[in-house]
Structures are given as structure tokens and as C-alpha cells.
Chain A
Amino acid sequence: MVSVLAIPLLALVVSTGAGDFFGGLRHPLALSALRLSLLTTTSSLALTLLLGTPLAWWMARHPGPTERVVSTLVQLPIVVPPAVSGLALLLAFGRRGLLGPLLESAGWTLPFTTAAVVLAELFVSAPFYVQSATTAFRRLDEDLLWTARSLGASPARRFFEVALPLSRPGVVTGAALSWARALGEFGATLMFAGNLAGRTQTLPLAIYTALETDLRPAKALSVLMVAVALGVLLLLGRGTVLEAVRARA
């Protein structure tokens, strides 16, 4: 099992020399995709935190039938295939989609724009954050929140000074997982936002495009993404590979 999981990644790293890596990263395709991915994933993460945190707090504080329905809906994008997510986004926000005419009358066209990339990333990645933050908020000791109330703390103070700091590990884990998922998003973006260099061509789409012309940027970007993924795992305290290496050293 381990070899099945490790050999492809090893092959990727071994076949990409330093020259390939740095040369590939300087390729115009790579630079533009890097910039776009940074911009869109930062935006989708900001939106996830802004909209997902109140939702997670509400779900943790109001368990019951309504919360279970909302929770199931929120988790659906995790298990739905990315192509289905892309189609769903098109049918909702596309020109002839459910909300398309409404958006168009307000002067907004979403499909095949950078905003569509952000929306696709938000759709597939936010559930990871909401799930993790909800679990963290649920684990809070109720007595701490009641004590804070008895000491006169407003809802905002209870949240920002008690609940959030004490839930930080779960919230940070959720944010990191969500960001990593957004960075790797491919299928929904391709269907809903297309593959336009500089506008909607993120890192995974650039890798896909480069395969047909020049393998160097594809390999360089892939190695970069593996490194980023490893970094996220280390941040989450699951860097078993490096820990083992360190332990042996």
C-alpha cells in the first residue's frame, strides 16, 4: 500500500531535476498560474472564514433537526464529484442558470471569470473548514461560556475572547485543509470557470495545459504543489515522514 501511494510522488520528484524545477517555475504559464492561484485561494479562504465561522458557531450552538439538515447540505460538496459540482455551479450561476438572469440584470456575469474560480474553490473547500470548526466549537466547555456571561461578557466578547482562542487548533486545521483543497481544485473550476491563462487558469489547470506542450512547467508546478501539501500536513502536526527522518537523524 505504502509503495502504491509513495512511488508516483517519488517518481515526480526524482524526474524533476533542479534545472527542470527552477526553469519550469520561470515559464510564463507557471508564473501566471501561481499568481492566480494565490489570489483566488486567498480570496476563497477569506470568504470561507467570513461566512463559514458564523455558520459553524450556529451549528455547534443549535443542535437539532434543522442543524442536521444544514450540516448534511454543507457536507455534500465533500462527497459530490468535482465535475458534478462544476455543472451544479453552471446551472445555478451560469447565464441560463437559476440565478443567471438575476445576476445579469445586476451587471454581473460569473462563468469564465476569476470570480467563478473563487466561487468554485469556495464551493468545494468551505465544507472542510465548517466541519472542523463546528467540531471544535462543540467541544467547548459550556461552563466557561456561562461563566463569561455571568461576568458580563457580550456575545462578541464571549466568542472572540473565549470560544475562538480555545477552538484555535480545530479552526486552524479546518482553514489549512480548506485552503489546500481550494489550491488543488480542478474539475469544478474547469467546468464553471474554464481554462483561460491569466484569468481562470490556476495551478492544476496550468499543469494539465502544460502536459500538451512543455512538460517542464507541469513537473515544476507539480513538485511545488506536493511541497505545499507537505507543508500543510506539517502545519497540522501530521508530518510523520519528516518526524521519522528527524528521529533517525
Chain B
Amino acid sequence: MLELDLEVVRDGFVLEVALSLGAGPTVLVGPNGAGKSTLLRAILGAVPVRRGRIVLEGRVLLDTQRGVSLPTEERRVAWVPQEYALFPHLSVRENVQFGAPGAAGRRRAGEFLDRLGLGPLAARLPGALSGGERQKVALARALAAEPRALLLDEPLAALDTETRASTRTLLSETLRQLGIPSLVVTHDARDLAVLAAPMVLLESGRVQSVGALSGFRAAPPTDFARSLLAPLSS
């Protein structure tokens, strides 16, 4: 369980979010500038939080009232940004092993390389990979670090249509097997359909609605939600 109650103020923009995320994926949707990436970065500890609390599996990551703020490296929250942020000077294997030290870590990294079909690419540098392969490396790297929560910022946005379809299914299966709170930002209705996960609609820095995809489809709470889900009706 990942419990959030946050207020972030950045350059006049105010983000106010109170949410409880269960195990498995939760999809975060909203128009550009709604504060989705800022929310992810706040959970990560990469942007200052003015007021609030983050509790992950009973462990307090942040509590502004008590002056608690764990540094990012101690939060055990893995983050996959939009462009994946693979270390360009490290091989695929070294990237995946980065957050998995020791013999046990190496074994775990090897398992994720195999599970995501990256074994044959292990010696390559990220620059020599396709978009889909890079996405898988970023996911394997995040998972090999044994995080307690996972943040994926538009994980499929940089992929072409064909790669996107296959990676979408793989992502959905992996997140379900993983069983940790995972927040997935997307702009694509097909991602919502395949992930079939609880949805959070964020607009202008506030949570407008939370619920299942079916509920959103039956009664879209805002114009943005209506246009986002339109492709699923056709």
C-alpha cells in the first residue's frame, strides 16, 4: 500500500493529492500540465514537498510535520522516466545490475534479463538498442533493484505502434506478477484497456476522480476523460 497526502508548490503551480494505492498497477491520467510527472517526482523525492506524508508499506518516506524525509536512495521507489534514462556508458547487463549489488543482485539481474528477453543483448550499449528494447532494459533495471513501489512515466510513449502493442501486454503481465504499488502515467486509451487497472484522473493539480475503467467509460467525469476514452468506444 502506498499512501499519499501531498502539497507541492512549484513556480506558482499547486499540486494537491491525497491517494491510497494498492498492490499492482494504478493508471494516472490527465492533460499536459496536470502535475502527473510532478507527482511522480514528489514520491521519488526529486521535488520539494511543502506539506504532506508518504507512507509505503507502513514505512514513512516523508512526513513534513515530523520533519521526516528519506533521501531518494533510501526510499526503495524505482522510477522509469519518459526517455528511460539508461546509463549510456554501461552495457545492458551493467545497467540492469546497477541497483542490484552482490552475487544475489547479479543473479536477480540475470533473471530479469532472461524474463524480458534481453539475454542476447546483455553486452550491448543502450545506444545500439531499439526503443522497445530500451524500454525493457529500463523496466528490468527498475525491477532488479527490488523496489517496494514503481513509478512509470509514460513508459510506452516513445515506442512505435507495433512495439507498443507487444510491450503493453508484457508490461501489464509483469506489473501484475510483481504485486507492488505501481503508478503508470499514460495518454493512451489502449494502455488503459490492457492494464485494466484502477484509474486516477488528475487535472490542474487535483485529483478529479478515482475508479475503475468501466466507471470512467460509463460516465466520463470531465471533458478530458471523455476525449481520452473516445478511442475505446469506436
Contact = CB atoms under 8 A, between A and B. Distances in A.
| Chains A and B are bound partners | yes
Given A150-B73, A151-B99, A152-B99, 17 more contacts: A143-B85, A144-B87, A146-B44, A146-B46, A147-B79, A147-B81, A148-B98, A149-B45, A149-B46, A150-B44, A150-B75, A150-B79, A151-B73, A153-B98, A154-B73, A161-B98, A166-B88
Interface in B134-151: 141-142, 145, 147
B92 interface: no
B89 interface: yes
Contacts of B98: 148, 151, 153, 161
B72 interface: yes
Contacts, number: 57
Main secondary structure, interface of B, reads loop
Contacts of A154: 73
B171 to A, nearest CB: 18
28 contacts: A141-B85, A143-B85, A144-B85, A146-B41, A146-B44, A146-B72, A146-B79, A146-B81, A147-B81, A148-B87, A148-B98, A149-B46, A149-B73, A150-B72, A150-B73, A150-B77, A150-B78, A150-B99, A151-B99, A151-B141, A151-B142, A152-B73, A152-B76, A152-B99, A152-B145, A153-B98, A154-B73, A165-B89
A161 B41 CA distance: 23
A83 interface: no
B62 to A, nearest CB: 15
A162 interface: yes
B71 interface: yes
Contacts of B5: none
Contacts of B41: 146
Interface string A147-178: 11111111000000110011000000000000
Interface residues of A, number: 16
Pairs A-B, 3 closest by C-beta atoms: A151-B99, A149-B72, A143-B85
A153 B73 contact: yes
Interface string B84-116: 010111000000001100000000000000000
Given A146-B72, A149-B71, A153-B98, A162 B87 contact: yes
A150 B87 CA distance: 13
A166 B145 CA distance: 22
Chain B CB count within 10 A is highest, among A152, A153, A161, A162, for: A152
A150 B61 CA distance: 13
